[in-house]
Amino acid sequence: MTAWLFVLLGIGLLYGGGEALIRGAVRLAAQAGLSPMVIGLTVVAFGTSAPELAATLLAVLRGSPEIGMGNVLGSNIANIGLILPLAALITPLFGQGKFIWREIPFMFLASAVLLLLLPNDVLGRWEGLGLLSVLVGYTIYLLREKDENAAVVDEFNVEFGKVSSGKGYIVAIGLIIVGLVALVFGATLTVDGGVAIASRFGVSDRIIGLTLVAVGTSLPELASSIVAAAKKETDIVLGNIVGSNIFNVLGILGVTAIVKPIEVVYDHIEVDILVGLGFAALLLAIIARTAKIGRFGGFVLVTGYGVYIATMFG
């Protein structure tokens, strides 16, 4: 019971910490003169993955690398197999041409790289640096190509409020500090609770990472996707999910491997990497055929996710 309370409290702190971090960073970036588009592509997109980063990094540092790796792989699978379908139940999610043929394939390739890097059972520092470098290059490419427009500014102001320049630095920095502290404590409770539950019920660290920790740290993506879907901001939903999946692999695993090489048994996680690639391919097939994810497409995705979870515990 104590372990479950630790996990629930930890997930709550991860969610609240992630939200505080994003709000503070958005305020700080806006007052520094960055445009809403730049903030959206960097601060907001990467900030929603802060809980995954905190939990993964701490799990590896505490000697539970399979929880950390399972968290990343499980979050990516849950993003496509669970969160997207829930958003599609609210409103059909329409995709633009460039998004379909660039962002989703890049997400697929980013995950496929793990099949090449992990067969030796370790993701080392140089490999982590390589992943992080690809993420930096891709982000720079996106920022240079995107053009600011009034619709983006309006959506930004509605979501975060219009931030006046020159004032409020103390509030912004305070939110960032509170967010970081909450993330550290939340990650500690979640990882420690997850390890205790795994030991108590004889479940592997991998499964705890793929399910309990992964879904818990995906709450920011779930919350932002549901809200955006309710507002019919479907580009934001798709961009949030795909961007998060890209950052999870390139950013979180990259940063974590640089801090401490991630040692996992490849045979234990190969199937999960392949399942993640399968969901990415299925997403591309659905959205390329109809240019949207409707209720039927959402049903297909969530059914696949249910089968995957059932097979894991079967």
Rounded Cα distance between 191 and 216, Å, is 11
Rounded Cα distance between 59 and 67, Å, is 6
CATH class of 2-313: mainly alpha
What is the secondary structure of the chain as a DSSP string?
A: -HHHHHHHHHHHHHHHHHHHHHHHHHHHHHHTT--HHHHIIIIIHHHTTHHHHHHHHHHHHTT-HHHHHHHHHHHHHHIIIIIHHHHHHHS-EE--HHIIIIIHHHHHHHHHHHHHHSTTSEE-HHHHHHHHHHHHHHHHHHHHH----HHHHHHHHHHH-PPPTTS-HHHHHHHHHHHHHHHHHHHHHHHHHHHHHHHHHT--HHHHIIIIIHHHHTHHHHHHHHHHHHTT-HHHHHHHHHHHHHHIIIIIHHHHHHHS-EE--HHHHHHHHHHHHHHHHHHHHHHHHHSEE-HHHHHHHHHHHHHHHHHHH-
Q: Are the C-beta atoms of residues 57 and 255 closer than 8 Å to each other?
A: yes
Write down how long the chain is.
314
pLDDT, one tens digit for every residue, the chain (314 residues)? 688 888 788 878 877 877 787 777 777 766 766 665 556 556 666 777 778 888 899 889 988 899 899 999 999 999 999 999 998 888 888 766 565 677 889 999 999 999 999 999 999 999 999 999 999 998 888 777 655 555 555 555 655 555 555 556 777 778 878 887 887 787 788 778 877 887 777 778 888 888 878 887 777 777 777 777 787 777 777 877 888 899 999 999 999 999 999 999 999 899 999 999 999 999 988 888 877 888 888 899 999 999 998 888 76
What residue spans define the domains of the chain? 2-313
Whole-model pTM: value is: 0.82
Q: Which two tokens mark 205?
A: 């660290």
